Structure 1
Amino acid sequence: MSAASCQLTEDQFLCSICLDVFTDPVSTPCGHNFCKACITQHWNVNVPDQCPNCKKLFYTRPELQINTFISEMAAQFRQAAQQEASSSSSEPQAAKPREVPCDGCTGTKLKALKSCLVCLESYCETHLEPHLTRPGLKRHQLMDPVENLEGWMCLKHNKPLELFCQTDQTFVCMLCTVLDHKNHNVVPLEEEYEGKKAEMKKTEAETKEMIQKRRLKIQELKHSVQLSEEQSAREIAGGVQVLTALKESVERSQAKLILTIKEKHRNTEKQAEGFIQELEQEICELEKRSTEVKQLSRSEDHLHLLQSLRTLKAAPPTKNWTGVRVRPPSYEGTVMRAVQQLEETLSNQMKKLFEGELKRVQRSAVDVTLDPDSANPYLILSDDGKQVKLGDVQKNLPDNPERFDTSVIVLAKQSFSSGRSYYEVQVEGKTKWDLGVVRESINRKGRITLSPQEGFWMIWLRNENEYYALVDPPVRLSLRSRPQKVGVLVDYEEGLVSFYDVDAAALIDSFTGCCFTEKLFPYFWSMSYL
């Protein structure tokens, strides 16, 4: 099929609506042809129905039938066009916008395959052949096609930039190495390229590793948030349960208090009502007698009065009310007793709460042993590293940097630098003891100041029943009972150090809002450790 006939056929078989080759062509009464879908959609959108070409108006939409002749012709045209396209696809393709065009092509610029740094031109497959066959051109330096070949030439010596000066970090030609860059560290461009490529590969690997670490950190943080959410839900549920129970206890105590007071008042009211009823009965009898006497006394008949007196009823018996009293009940101590009972209930609830908290804390238990390298020479450690006591004689020990020389202190071997850690210390029978945690860099020589500012978070016992939290100045603690076993919890990220009376399931004291930046070591003095 010739180009002219192909063009003619294409014009004849284009739908004037979609401007593409007919699909299911139909003819209107006015003789124009359209794709069935195109003309149907056109009439559905545009009112009234008329021919898009000649504008002939149809008062009744025509019934459209497929034009089989045009349909067959359109199919033949598509087949011929596809064959022509496939036969022309093997011909050399013109350079696309982002491809380097051949400098040797005079008509259509074909895609270049190589660039010559000597000729400063790029060539397609046809025009590249002389550089591959002629001896004089074989010596030219070829490279992958690039635009702006002048940028690959030394402006000073008009030679290819084949080398790289690592001293000046610039591209140079062969003449530059013996003139301006003499004695410089110069390497071939390919070598520098490979080196930089290796560096970039290493950087890419390092970057990927950094990305992976950060993704893992994101997962870790999300997991921490999830754990926090679960823990907060448990704490809220537990707290609501405890506080609801406390609220119900208060309401029951209040109701019981009101009932007790009202019962006392009702008893008093009932007693008074009984007395009042008796008094009113006596008054009624007395009033009757008074009326009879009054009526008799008005009689002027001497005989009748005297005779009536004989038959007059005797005065009704009456009660001596002089000593009768209704005393208001004493409410003194009623409220106090109710509060005491409520306090006992609250104390039991608090104990249950702390028992639950202590059980959760004890899940973070760690094994701790004493470090002999840190122990003051007066301290005596057990062989298993679980007990320490104060001796009478100073042992001859090496004065290493970890050892306390004047303060009778010993630290544990284990340290805490993340998460939650818990351990327990047996202090039963001890009249003096210190315990807590310290940071690694504390002063271990000479006089030591025990305070959080100096890296000590601890409590101690003095004079058998005087407990103190070591802040500046120390704060005396009020404890209901003497602890026999003390639990120590360290939450590194939370900045928390808490002390528990294990047997009483009670919180002794807490250091909160601490900022930990170093390892923390358990601290002991004069005690047995479990």
Structure 2
Amino acid sequence: MAMPVSLLAHFCRQSGRSACSFASRHARINPLQARRWYISRTTGNELQFRLDEQTAHSSLDLYKKDTGVIYRMLGLDPSKVQLNPERFRDWAVVFADQTIGGGRHYWEVTVKKSREFRLGVAEALMSREDCVGTNASSWVFGYAQRRWFAMTKNKVVPVTLVGKPDRVGILLDYEAGAVALVDVQSLRVIHTIKTSFREPLCPAFGLWDGELLTHSGMEEPPGLK
């Protein structure tokens, strides 16, 4: 069942944005489309990435050689952060520095003291006006109010039978049009979002408190489907 837009304020509260404001926002020209994308593209099954500071919102601080991210309530003064089309200016989102154009890929994320976050993938040229999960260009799993959910196109679907583990996996199968949330303890797929990918993707992360640490360059655990 999709969650009413009125409840999305609990999942996208950042920089004064409200559910009402993004629901009424008109479509705008994506400035990224006017720029060449210089990040290397991955098509095989070995994905090694770091977080891309050029995309990070001013409230997000990268650490551990850009493999982790910390949410700072005050963050940096947005006027002090380099202005570029790749950066999220309104939402606490950061992308990885690799794009994916094919193949099957797996990575994990350690969650530290966070009660509200999102993990998944998004089109590399997704509008930086949006939050991941609120449009047709991103597919994420989120956690808020002690509950998991899957989200795309602004629709929230509850994900049950999972608590709040310290570490989870993300499995992406580009050709199959699938992104899955993986329980790394039992090595099982908890929930899968099915779609059809047509553009290069980036691992994508949203964070509203605490820390996330990414683990890439990993082999896919055997037995996952």
Q: Which amino acid aligns with 1:371?
A: D
Q: Which amino acid aligns with 1:381?
A: L
Pick one of 358, 362, 371 that aligns with 2:52: 371
1:452 is displaced (CA, Å) by: 5.6
Contact 1:428 1:483 survives alignment (8 Å)? no
Q: Which amino acid aligns with 2:214?
A: Y
Q: Please state if 1:462 is matched with 2:144.
A: yes
Structure 1 stretches of at least 4 aligned residues deviating more than 6 Å after TM superposition: none
Using the aligned pairs only, state the percent identity.
Answer: 28
SS at match of 2:91: coil
SS at match of 2:106: strand
Pick one of 165, 181, 194 that aligns with 1:499: 181
Cα deviation digits, residues 258-315 of structure 1 (max 9, x gap): xxxxxxxxxxxxxxxxxxxxxxxxxxxxxxxxxxxxxxxxxxxxxxxxxxxxxxxxxx
Distance change (3 Å), C-alpha of 1:393 and 1:481: closer
Q: Which amino acid aligns with 1:385?
A: D
Pairing 1:122-141 to 2, within 5 Å after superposition: none
SS at match of 1:422: strand
Match of 1:390 in 2: 71
SS at match of 1:373: helix
Match of 1:94 in 2: none
Pairing 1:63-78 to 2, within 5 Å after superposition: none
Question: Distance between the aligned counterparts of 2:170 and 2:70, measured in 1?
Answer: 20
Pick one of 122, 125, 130 that aligns with 1:441: 125
Cα deviation digits, residues 232-254 of structure 1 (max 9, x gap): xxxxxxxxxxxxxxxxxxxxxxx
Cα deviation digits, residues 314-362 of structure 1 (max 9, x gap): xxxxxxxxxxxxxxxxxxxxxxxxxxxxxxxxxxxxxxxxxxxxxxxxx
Match of 1:450 in 2: 133
Q: Which amino acid aligns with 1:438?
A: A
Question: Structure 1-normalised TM-score?
Answer: 0.30
Give the length in aligned residue pairs. Answer: 164
Pairing 1:193-204 to 2, within 5 Å after superposition: none
The unaligned stretches of length 5 or more in structure 1 are 1-363
Contact 2:132 2:206 survives alignment (8 Å)? no
Cα deviation digits, residues 367-403 of structure 1 (max 9, x gap): 2210000000111101501110111334221110100
Q: Which amino acid aligns with 1:494?
A: A
What's the RMSD between the two structures over aligned residues? 2.0
Pairing 1:338-349 to 2, within 5 Å after superposition: none
Contact 2:177 2:197 survives alignment (8 Å)? yes
Match of 1:490 in 2: 172
Pick one of 214, 220, 224 that aligns with 1:529: 214
Match of 1:409 in 2: 93
Cα deviation digits, residues 119-154 of structure 1 (max 9, x gap): xxxxxxxxxxxxxxxxxxxxxxxxxxxxxxxxxxxx
Distance change (3 Å), C-alpha of 1:428 and 1:379: closer
Question: Distance between the aligned counterparts of 1:449 and 1:525, measured in 2?
Answer: 7
Question: Distance between the aligned counterparts of 2:157 and 2:53, measured in 1?
Answer: 31
Structure having greater relative contact order (Cα 8 Å, sep ≥ 6) = 2
Question: Structure 2-normalised TM-score?
Answer: 0.67
Question: Distance between the aligned counterparts of 1:449 and 1:429, measured in 2?
Answer: 21
The unaligned stretches of length 5 or more in structure 2 are 1-44, 216-225
Q: Which has the higher helix share?
A: 1
Cα deviation digits, residues 208-232 of structure 1 (max 9, x gap): xxxxxxxxxxxxxxxxxxxxxxxxx
SS at match of 2:69: strand
1:449 is displaced (CA, Å) by: 6.7
Match of 2:155 in 1: 473
Contact 2:141 2:151 survives alignment (8 Å)? yes
